[in-house]
Amino acid sequence: MNPMPSTVRIREVGPRDGFQNEPETIATADKVRLIDMLSASGLGRIEVTSFVRPEVIPQLADAEQVLAGVQRRESVAFSVLIPNERGLERALGMRERFDGVSVFLSASETHNRRNVNRSIEESLGGLERTLATARQAGLRCEGVISVSFGCPYEGQVPPERVFEIAARLAAAGCAEVGFGDTTGMANPRQVHELFAAARERLGGVELTAHFHNTRGQGLANVLAALEEGVDSFESSFGELGGCPVPPGSTGNVASEDVVSMLHEMGIETGVDLPRLIEASGAAQEVLGRPLGAQVLRAGPVDWHGGRGG
């Protein structure tokens, strides 16, 4: 077991991973306002949008308009999700508005087929070409491996397969590899084992944990990753998000819940928790429904009594 980190980096993925699952179209102006609120909360990394084909995810068809509208802060690194070479070509038209890209594929053949209609090998081949172009453009690259902890179609995913994919992504230029619990199947023991092995196999690569709270184990899995020395996490404000396939794959672990727990443990994030909660409250108003984050409902811990602020 590695020493627990004293500081943690969080990438807020709600504006992409969260918004893409919303059935009603969110106005571009509302997206821009919410992202600006997230930037003002002290989050150092935000995944702003995706350059997926508009007909595939209509909610993110306004990627260029969102990037053009958001306020840039020197302290905040913006990234975009890139599905393929065509998506990167489109994104490069806005190159000055973001700092890095994330690419993705699944650790199971079935999930990858259902998600992007490609085999794992076909995805890797395309992503290797995409990453080469992104690096030439001076972009920092992250590779995200979906269903790293289990697949709803195939069940257990062999860790060796996950590490083989991770090694290919690292060799192609990913400075960071994210391990996604895409449908909330991970448990803390499994998280301990995977990250302990990943640290040995992927020296020099930033390891990132991306948990969903589908079965209520998101924070327990965050703690397990912390205990293995992981200091990079992805989360979504308000517990927005999920996975388009299969049904029932509800939201990411909530950013405000993660930040609240870390702060109570004495781990620094650089995030102003009340301002983050304010952003989630604004998202509730935009969406017209309550969101799932616990801290959004209860407020931060207040050791002096009453609701925190």
Task: For 254-301, write each residue's pLDDT tens digit.
Answer: 999 999 999 999 999 999 999 999 999 999 999 999 999 999 999 999
Q: How many percent of the chain have pLDDT more than 70?
A: 95
For residue 304, what pLDDT is reported?
73
Task: For 211-239, write each residue's pLDDT tens digit.
Answer: 999 999 999 999 999 999 999 999 999 99
For residue 251, what pLDDT is reported?
81
Phi, psi of 151 (to 5 degrees): -115, 135
Of the pLDDT bands very low, low, confident and very high (cuts 50, 70, 90), residue 303 is confident
Residue 280 has which token pair? 């989630």
pLDDT at position 17 over 90? yes
Task: Tell me the CATH class for 9-298.
Answer: alpha beta
Apex CA 224: angle with CA 21 and CA 192, to 5°?
Answer: 105
What is the greatest pairwise CA distance in the chain?
Answer: 57
- From 141, 151, 174, 243, the catalytic residue: 243
Name the residue ranges covered by the structural domains of the chain: 9-298
C-alpha atoms less than 13 angstroms from C-alpha of 139 in its C-beta half-sphere: 30
Residue 243 appears among annotated catalytic residues: yes
Report the mean per-residue pLDDT for the chain: 94
